[in-house]
Chains A and B, each alone.
Chain A
Amino acid sequence: MVDTPAMSGSAPGVKGLVRTLEIDTRLVGMIGAFIALCLVFHFLTDGRFLTPRNIFNLTIQTVSVAIMATGMVFVIVTRHIDLSVGSLLATCSAMMAMTQTVVTPDWLGLGLNHPATAPIAIGVGVLTGLVIGAFHGWLIGYLTIPAFIVTLGGLLVWRNVAWYLTNGQTIGPLDENFLLFGGIGGTLGEAASWVFGALAVAAALAALWQSRRNKIAHDFPVKPLWAEGVMGAIIAASILGFIAILNAYDIPERRLAQMFEARGEVMPEGFSAGYGLPISVLVLIAVAVVMTVVANRTRLGRYIFAAGGNPDAAELSGINTRMLTVKVFAIMGVLCAVSAVVASARLSFHSNDIGTLDELRVIAAAVIGGTALSGGVGTVYGAILGALIMQSLQSGMAMVGVDAPFQNIVVGSVLVAAVLIDIIYRQRTGGR
């Protein structure tokens, strides 16, 4: 089979290696920037940044923004914007908080901490997000009001609908099972985390192998077997390393003792246990996998990127771009609801200002992650990495003791600089 000549010849140096491994150079750059950032903070904080405890905290702080950022990728790829995600999160959170503190215990008579409460509350939240998101999409797609205006209006409307729903009060405490999605309050523990890690490695390797077999079946060029091996090893090491770090963060002794007490047992002498994988991170992983599959392997995803690359072409190809807009914003709405679960569970209550300014963090995460506002270009993993970079910057600076105004000055500057670097990168490579 014919292909670009550069593929067959082994180009020397790092560039050649990257090309043989078929790694996205942009991804390499972002991971490199992230690692450099972490090392700088680690040095500046005298080794407090890259500790299991801090990595654990960074991870759970990133989840809420990262979940919404995956949806924002679709929105921006289709040349729209959503300024209402923070307010929509608040409305979903308010609906769920009222459901589990008023509706299920009193109106339905289930009492507190009933096993059905969390599923009902989450169902209500997701439905709320879906309906509001789809409504935004309808206003934008069918009534052709610009997304900027619809969601700017939504920013005000949903923030204050949330206020109205709760009379501006803080609502809590929330249901016990619901709180499991908050992060530190719900983790898998060491053994289950290792099992999950092993399954994830197996799934990733199977996907690599399947993709290679598929290419061979169609006589397409494949990379050398050793390159596949290296890729597989990198992926496996990353997954298992991440699990090891989360497991290495020990639950404080006092908390362990309380947990044993709650079960009516006495903690054995010298007992210790790690937190392991938080359930909220599990939710983010699930969202990331689903969104990536939607983006790369479904017609919906293909149409989202086609409509972003050339709306006229998409329309002329028989794609219903109006309905597509509704679907994209409905997905965004659902993800706001999922984010609301994680955010309110992490706080352990619903507060009136929950999600404030999240729209800016989410858009920044997507954009730092390589999503182009001109449309047609963006990746789910990039957005998650973008969210992680933003959060690391923020917490790193807080740990170093940078004054609050300077923190925001730096974050804002990084956003602009990231887009500039991206533009230069695109001009150099002449593609996506």
Chain B
Amino acid sequence: MTARGTPLVEMRDMHKSFGGIKAVDHVTVDLHAGEVVGILGHNGAGKSVLMKMLSGAIQRDGGEIIINGKPAHINNPRDARDYNIETIYQTLALADNLDAASNLFLGRELTTPLGFVDDAKMEAETRKIMNRLNPNFVRFSAPVSALSGGQRQSVAIARAVYFNARILIMDEPTAALGVEETRMVAELIEELKKQGIGIFLIDHDIHQVKAMCDRASVMKNGQLVGTVNVNEVTEDDLLGMIILGKQPQLAA
């Protein structure tokens, strides 16, 4: 991999143990602006834990997070937001009993001059961004529990996109989606890339990784197997890395 200036994010020598288990064992990955880096591995390989250390949901035991060349202090989700890091969790992290607008602005409500939450303004903003992301979305006053999987996904994505993320973490964004909705997510990722946003994409689907990602970092048992340019390796190479922890011939 050739250097292209300062990476947007570098996670150096990250580690995290739960009890005696090394969930993430001295892993280093990086991400450039306008790039999609796939994070691959089996369940329990440590992908989600690694990403949660970046999003502030899990505190790291050790290692450094460097954003635009400067050390970043991320100890909770609020810190991560201050660095314009947004996350779309696999579980979507939506409050099912609230409507789309309340979820989109959760933790960052717009308020009136008197300090009350401005629901009308938030709904108007939500309508605007939904028009762009998913024009079929019309159920603005229903609790999100009443929405389809795809609609819920668009709420989660809107939440990440609305606040001008520079670094986006997507945890299996298409796992629960149909063909059409998956295509919409792929288009969105392309669009976000063009805007110079860096994306970490956790995914199981090798096909999608080949199609959507520029590079892929493969993890196994908490350790980094390696990072490769996806167009320099075959799907079999990636599978070998994931299943056997085997380095592909090319990228060594």
- Tell me the A residues contacting B by CB distance below 8 Å: 1-4, 214-215, 217-220, 293, 297-299, 301-303, 305-310, 312-319, 376-377, 430-432
Q: For the complex, what is the distance from the CA of A3 to the CA of B78, rounded to whole Å?
A: 34
Q: Does B57 contact A (CB under 8 A)?
A: yes
Which 6 pairs from chain A and chain B are nearest by CB?
Answer: A309-B97, A317-B107, A309-B95, A376-B97, A318-B78, A313-B93
Beyond A4-B139, A220-B120, A299-B117, whether A317 also contacts B93 by CB under 8 A is yes
Verify A318–B107 contact, CB threshold 8 A. yes
Q: A302-B109, A310-B94, A376-B95 are in contact. List 16 more A-B contacts (CB 8 A).
A: A1-B127, A2-B138, A219-B124, A297-B116, A298-B115, A303-B107, A306-B95, A306-B98, A307-B95, A312-B91, A313-B94, A314-B95, A318-B107, A318-B108, A319-B106, A431-B146
Q: List 17 A-B contacts (CB under 8 A).
A: A2-B138, A218-B124, A220-B120, A299-B117, A302-B98, A310-B95, A312-B93, A313-B92, A313-B94, A313-B106, A315-B77, A316-B57, A316-B89, A317-B106, A319-B106, A376-B96, A432-B143
Q: Which residues of A contact B78 (CB under 8 A)?
A: 318
> From residue 63 to 107 of chain B, which have CB atoms closer than 8 A to chain A?
76-78, 81, 87, 89, 91-98, 102-103, 106-107
- Tell me the B residues contacting A by CB distance below 8 Å: 55, 57, 76-78, 81, 87, 89, 91-98, 102-103, 106-109, 111, 115-117, 120-121, 123-124, 127, 138-140, 142-143, 145-146
Beyond A218-B120, A305-B95, whether A299 also contacts B109 by CB under 8 A is yes
Contact partner of A316 among B93, B97, B124, B143, CB < 8 A?
B93
Verify B96–A310 contact, CB threshold 8 A. yes
Verify B102–A306 contact, CB threshold 8 A. yes
Q: For the complex, what is the distance from the CA of A215 to the CA of B140, rounded to whole Å?
A: 14
Verify A318–B81 contact, CB threshold 8 A. yes
Q: Which residues of A contact B142 (CB under 8 A)?
A: 431
Q: Which residues of B contact A303 (CB under 8 A)?
A: 107
Q: For the complex, what is the distance from the CA of A305 to the CA of B98, rounded to whole Å?
A: 8
Chain B at the A interface: SS class: loop
Number of A-B residue pairs having CB atoms within 8 Å of each other in the complex? 94
Beyond A4-B138, A432-B143, whether A302 also contacts B77 by CB under 8 A is no
Q: For the complex, what is the distance from the CA of A303 to the CA of B146, rounded to whole Å?
A: 20
Beyond A217-B120, A298-B117, whether A319 also contacts B107 by CB under 8 A is yes
Q: For the complex, what is the distance from the CA of A148 to the CA of B138, rounded to whole Å?
A: 41
Q: Which residues of B contact A219 (CB under 8 A)?
A: 124
Verify A316–B102 contact, CB threshold 8 A. no
Q: Which residues of B contact A297 (CB under 8 A)?
A: 116-117
Q: For the complex, what is the distance from the CA of A56 to the CA of B66, rounded to whole Å?
A: 68
Q: Which residues of A contact B102 (CB under 8 A)?
A: 302, 306
Verify B143–A431 contact, CB threshold 8 A. yes
Verify B106–A218 contact, CB threshold 8 A. no
Q: Which residues of B contact A308 (CB under 8 A)?
A: 97
Q: For the complex, what is the distance from the CA of A381 to the CA of B107, rounded to whole Å?
A: 26
User: CB-nearest residue of chain B relative to A372?
Assistant: B97
Q: For the complex, what is the distance from the CA of A306 to the CA of B159, rounded to whole Å?
A: 15
Q: For the complex, what is the distance from the CA of A430 to the CA of B139, rounded to whole Å?
A: 14
Verify A305–B107 contact, CB threshold 8 A. no
A365 to chain B, nearest CB (A): 21
User: CB-nearest residue of chain A relative to B138?
Assistant: A2
User: CB-nearest residue of chain A relative to B116?
Assistant: A297
Q: For the complex, what is the distance from the CA of A431 to the CA of B98, rounded to whole Å?
A: 11
A402 to chain B, nearest CB (A): 38
Verify B77–A316 contact, CB threshold 8 A. yes
